[in-house]
């Protein structure tokens, strides 16, 4: 859960690495570092804290430069200067930056120590340069030493290694993300696309088992079968897409991109009908959705929608739990939802499904990511790069794809499907109307910002919407927020209600409407502040709540999209009022690449 960059080319390598690492800050980190091989030694600088203000001012001699860099999110060993990457061998002739977890590092470390190797850090990563050093003694080249060394590693890794006296980078990938950017006379490795966009839009998505030998102006990719060829793909995002474009935070920018994201994702699959091949779900007995965090909540909403429209049973599993409890019929479709396509738990769930011979499909935002390679079918969201750790537009795009699946698989008449599609197409304009009234939500956020506990409640589709609203609030404002089915309040959570615990209620004008009003009355009787999120035609709810966030009227089954945008804004403004680090909330990472 960190960022990797490696550069070889005509630019000043340390400047490229620092600039690129700054574009990976959204991944979450607690320390940073970089190394430059100057032919005589490896120059290393690494430190705990933020890389945002770091600048490389000294100029180096012209010519090919080789450099690697890293932002670390601590797993083995506390955040410290010594635990920050890069890590080196005993003689500091080899340096490595690494993402992932080496599960057998303890036994490897003890073995290497017994052979006389001296370790400086608490990290699992440090075994890699020491292994390369050991293998180099019996190898003909740096390349051969790395190939020998990785055979000892268990777990997951994406790493880039350099040697002090070689104009060469060697990168290896297994179960952790790594890409190769191909420029004109330069090559750049990175954990994610935004890091390379300043230098090239040509990228190779590496496969597990790939080893890349990068030299000035050329590269080779090998694996256990020998030398292989990987397609170069063009990235259609611009560097501006990955920047704030005048917004105070990436999160606010990305919330405001929701109308475009809905249009783009609909445009991928919908004309006057849904252009989606239903064969991925042919003959299935059920759908099992595996996901984490916000994607899990999208899955819960998808369960309601698919079961209601298509009549197909749906289970939603936390991917991290599914990996340890798998009882799945042979005709199940395993549907993984992951923004990055690199979420470790979701990938392991998909791999487990493949081992059981089950059909797999992924809803993914990143072309070429690992999920796209291990799944039988892939449905892309078109959210574009999402930099803020808190998922907003990617969540909305995931919902759109789930609605498309439900409509396509449903036995609805052509006219009924057409009406649903037309209402989906009206959502960008309706979302924009919510965005145009951000000030109203900001005013309500001022009321919530002074509390330390908030409860979100809903029924039916309102319940998973409430869960996602609570998650957004807790992850960026640091307010303890919990989502509950409104009917469950009497079974324990009522004990928490009172003047110090406001309640946010999701109101849908469907079969749950009247009972939700009764639940709100019960909450008010406990003296809690109540904020409702409902449509702008609902005047009755105003009689029972303190404040209401009104969203444009739509079909009740589509309400989670509009309500979720309102919740994104509510969380954003609350966090801003509280002075929180919105785009990079503490302890969190954008792409969770370890289990």
Is residue 395 packed enough to be buried (19+ CB in 10 Å), middle (13-18) or exposed (0-12)?
buried
Element (H, E) at 394: helix 393-409
The region that residue 190 occupies, defined by phi over 0 for left and psi between -120 and 50 for alpha, beta otherwise, is: beta
The region that residue 100 occupies, defined by phi over 0 for left and psi between -120 and 50 for alpha, beta otherwise, is: left
The tokens describing 267, both together, are: 């445009």
Which residue, 310, 348, 323, is CA-closest to 155? 348
Grouping H, G, I as helix, E, B as strand and the rest as coil, residue 240 is helix
- The Cα diameter of the chain in Å comes to 81
Torsion angle (degrees, nearest 10) of CA 169, 170, 175, 179:
40
State the SS3 of 476-498.
HHCCEEEEEEHHHHHHCHHHHCE
Pairing of strands 65-72, 87-88: unpaired
Contact 567/472 with Cβ under 8 angstroms?
A: yes
Contact 66/13 with Cβ under 8 angstroms?
A: yes
DSSP state of 593: -
Contact 479/451 with Cβ under 8 angstroms?
A: yes
Q: How many helices (H) and strands (E) does the chain have?
A: 16, 25
Q: Which residues contact 184 (CB under 8 A, 6 or more apart)?
A: 200
Pairing of strands 169-174, 226-228: unpaired
CB atoms within 10 A of CB 492: 9
Phi, psi of 484 (to 5 degrees): -140, 150
Task: Measure the CA–CA gap between 423 and 226, rounded to whole angstroms.
Answer: 52
The tokens describing 591, both together, are: 């792409």
* Residues forming the active site: 2, 590
3-state helix, strand, coil in the chain (%, to 5): 40, 25, 40
Strand order in the sheet with 453-458: 480-485, 453-458, 503-506, 530-535, 547-551
Which stretches of 73-168 are assigned E, i.e. beta strand? 87-88, 94-99, 157-163
Contact 375/362 with Cβ under 8 angstroms?
A: yes
Contact 527/494 with Cβ under 8 angstroms?
A: no
The tokens describing 460, both together, are: 């039916």
Task: Measure the CA–CA gap between 127 and 497, rounded to whole angstroms.
Answer: 52
Q: CA distances (Å), 145 to each of 34, 99, 142, 155, 320, in order?
A: 22, 20, 5, 19, 35
């Amino acid at each position: 859960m960190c960022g990797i960059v490696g550069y070889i080319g005509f630019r000043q390598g340390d400047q490229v690495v620092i600039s690129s690492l700054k574009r990976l800050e959204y991944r979450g980190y607690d320390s940073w570092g970089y190394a430059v091989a100057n032919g005589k030694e490896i120059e290393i600088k690494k430190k705990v804290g933020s890389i945002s203000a770091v600048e490389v001012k000294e100029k180096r001699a012209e010519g090919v430069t080789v450099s690697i860099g890293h932002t670390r999110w601590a797993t083995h060993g506390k955040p410290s200067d010594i635990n920050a990457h890069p890590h080196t061998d005993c003689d500091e002739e080899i340096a490595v930056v690494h993402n992932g977890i080496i599960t057998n590092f303890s036994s490897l470390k003890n073995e290497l120590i017994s052979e006389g190797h001296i370790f400086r850090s608490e990290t699992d990563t440090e075994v890699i340069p020491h292994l390369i050093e050991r293998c180099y003694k019996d190898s003909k080249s740096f390349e051969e030493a790395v190939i020998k060394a990785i055979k000892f590693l268990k777990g997951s890794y994406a790493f880039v290694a350099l040697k002090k006296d070689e104009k060469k980078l060697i990168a290896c990938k297994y179960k952790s993300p790594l890409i190769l950017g191909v420029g004109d006379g330069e090559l750049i490795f990175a954990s994610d696309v935004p890091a390379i966009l300043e230098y090239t839009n040509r990228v190779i998505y590496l496969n597990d088992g790939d080893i890349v030998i990068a030299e000035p102006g050329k590269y080779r990719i090998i694996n256990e079968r020998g030398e292989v060829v990987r397609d170069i793909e063009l990235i259609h995002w611009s560097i501006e897409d990955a920047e704030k474009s005048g917004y105070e935070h990436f999160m606010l920018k990305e919330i405001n991109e929701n109308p475009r994201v809905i249009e783009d994702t609909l445009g991928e699959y919908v004309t006057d009908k849904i252009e989606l091949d239903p064969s991925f779900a042919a003959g299935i007995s059920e759908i099992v959705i595996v996901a984490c965090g916000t994607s899990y909540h999208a899955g819960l909403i998808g369960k309601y929608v698919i079961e209601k429209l298509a009549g197909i049973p749906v289970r939603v599993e936390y991917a991290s739990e599914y990996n340890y409890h798998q009882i799945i019929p042979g005709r199940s479709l395993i549907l993984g939802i992951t923004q990055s396509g690199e979420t470790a738990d979701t990938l392991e769930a998909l791999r487990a499904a493949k081992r059981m011979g089950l059909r797999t499909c992924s809803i993914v935002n990143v072309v070429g990511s690992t999920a796209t390679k291990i799944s039988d079918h892939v449905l892309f969201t078109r959210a574009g790069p999402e930099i803020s750790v808190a998922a907003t537009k990617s969540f909305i795009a995931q919902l759109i794809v789930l609605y498309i699946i439900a409509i396509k698989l449903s036995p609805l008449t052509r006219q009924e499907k057409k009406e649903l599609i037309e209402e989906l197409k009206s959502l960008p304009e309706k979302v924009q109307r919510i965005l145009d009234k951000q000030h109203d939500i900001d005013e309500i956020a001022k009321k919530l910002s002074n509390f330390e506990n908030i409860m979100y409640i809903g029924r039916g589709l309102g319940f998973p919407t409430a869960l996602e609203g609570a998650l957004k609030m807790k992850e960026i404002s640091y307010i303890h927020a919990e989502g509950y089915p409104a009917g469950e309040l009497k079974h324990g959570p009522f004990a928490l209600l009172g003047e110090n615990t406001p309640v946010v209620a999701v109101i849908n004008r469907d079969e749950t409407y009247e009972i939700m009003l009764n639940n709100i009355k019960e909450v008010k009787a406990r003296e809690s502040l109540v904020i409702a999120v409902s449509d702008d035609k609902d005047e009755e709810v105003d009689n029972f709540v303190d404040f209401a966030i009104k969203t444009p009227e739509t079909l009740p089954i589509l309400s989670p999209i509009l309500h979720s945008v309102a919740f994104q804004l509510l969380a954003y403004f609350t966090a801003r009022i509280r002075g929180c680090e919105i785009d990079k909330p503490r302890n969190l990472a954008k792409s969770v690449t370890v289990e």
